[in-house]
Amino acid sequence: MSSLFASIKAALLGDDAAAPHASVQAATASIGTSGIVSGGHAARRHSPSTVEELELELLLEALFQCHGYDFRGYERAVVERKVQALQASLGLPTISALQSRVLHDEATYNALLRALYVTPALMFDNAAEVSMLRLSLGICLHGAALPRVWLADCAGVQQAWTLAILLEQEQLATRTEIHATVASDAMLAEVRQASLPMDRLGELQGNYIRSGGVGKLIDYFDVSEDGTRAVLKSHLSNRITWSQYNLVTDASFNEFQMILGHRALPDFGPSLRKRVLQLFHDSLAPFGMLALDRPLDQHDPLARDYKAILAHQPWYKRVA
């Protein structure tokens, strides 16, 4: 464990951690390896000013060092809110107590990943988004021989199912591949085994109608023999390729005619957002479609390569 905290100390204090000031040495000696003193170095990713902020920094560093998931570049206020909600739901008194559980209990570690991940979507839960999807699918996919769509940091199985149904309605399902990526193997197992209770499918019918759907949502599902659960019909679900992928660290893995990243981007801090936007750019085919959470900054070098589909909508067509 001492090597772990040495890594955490180096990350928090930057390159100067190897030769700390005398005051920091003394403070560190007085508390041992269980605490880290902030030294105000400019290279630090985030400078905690309270004990709780320091606990949060240590939790994120431990998650990265032990499991490889890097949430350090996420908007700190968003991360703090999600961590505090999980902490309260588990009845833990401090973030440090949560960190201990995360390091030693796999269920708590998976719960933290889910808490920090994109909020799960409901099918057809955003009528404006569905309208933009219908428009975009017709614009950018019909001309491609074998179009591919990337759901980056997919907001759960219901987001992927919504897209599959829209592709079916646009007569694109049989030749379009959906690549839905999630952060962990545990999430991957969940989405591959997902189904919906029948009463929940009835509730989602309202979303479907409000977003412009015609007919019955259940027509796109197979019902279990006991009539209690439903799963997307196999000819649609087979067009979805699920995989584990880390937007923070992984490189481009394919070329896509459409990338939907608008649900993940709001949680990213400025540096991470810039990195992910470049990743999307590297992965998007010429004349492909990119869905963002907010308009591109006009001073961003990438902005000149994109043209908005509609005014005041952060959905873009790549033009260069």
Express each pLDDT in 181-222 by its tens digit.
999 999 999 999 999 999 999 899 999 999 999 999 999 999
Are 169 and 220 in contact by the 8 Å Cβ rule? The answer is no
Tell me which residue range forms the domain holding 29: 2-116
Q: Are residues 104 and 131 in the same domain?
A: no
Neighbour order of strands in the sheet with 221-223: 196-197, 229-232, 221-223
What is the per-residue pLDDT for 16? Answer: 42
pLDDT digits (tens, 9 = 90+) for 218-251: 999 999 999 999 999 999 999 999 999 999 999 9
Q: What is the pTM of this model?
A: 0.83
Which SS3 state, helix, strand or coil, does residue 24 take? Answer: helix
- Residue 46 is predicted with a pLDDT of 61
> By C-alpha distance, which of 102, 99, 103 is closest to 55?
99
* Residue 51: pLDDT over 50: yes
Is residue 87 located within the same domain as residue 144?
no
Residue 109 domain flag: yes
Q: Give the pLDDT of residue 296.
A: 95
* Per-residue confidence band for 39, with pLDDT thresholds at 50, 70 and 90: very low
Are 76 and 135 in a shared domain? no
What pLDDT does residue 1 have? 45
Domain annotation covers residue 121: no
Q: Are residues 112 and 146 in the same domain?
A: no
In this predicted structure, what is the pLDDT of residue 148? 97
For residue 252, the domain's CATH number is 3.40.50.150
3-class state of residue 146 by DSSP = coil
Same domain membership, residue 104 and residue 244: no
Average pLDDT over residues 164-170: 96
Are 144 and 274 in the same domain? yes
Q: What is the domain count for the chain?
A: 2
What contacts 202, CB < 8 A, 6 or more positions away?
none
In a domain, 215, yes or no: yes
Is the dihedral angle over the CA atoms 51, 53, 57, 63 positive or is it negative? positive
Burial 137-164 (b: 16+ CB within 10 A, else e): beebbeebeebbbbbbbbbbbbbbbbbb
Regarding whether 185 and 112 lie in a shared domain, the answer is: no
Please say which residue of 91, 116, 141 terminates a domain: 116
The answer to whether 14 and 1 are in contact (CB under 8 A) is no
Alpha carbons 209 and 220: distance in angstroms, whole number? 14
Looking at 65, 93, 116, the residue that finishes a domain is: 116
| H or E element, residue 197 | strand 196-197
In a domain, 18, yes or no: yes
Please check whether residue 122 lies inside any domain of the structure. Answer: no
| Per-residue pLDDT, 45 | 55
Same domain, 64 and 151: no
Q: Is residue 264 part of a domain?
A: yes
Co-location of 106 and 133 in the same domain = no
Same domain as 291, residue 149:
yes
Domain co-membership, 175 together with 305: yes
Q: Which of 116, 137, 157 is the last residue of a domain?
A: 116
Q: Are residues 273 and 200 in the same domain?
A: yes
Distant-in-sequence, close-in-space partners of 147: CB < 8 Å, separation ≥ 6: 140, 141, 172, 175, 176, 177, 257, 258
Residue 171: inside a domain, yes or no?
yes
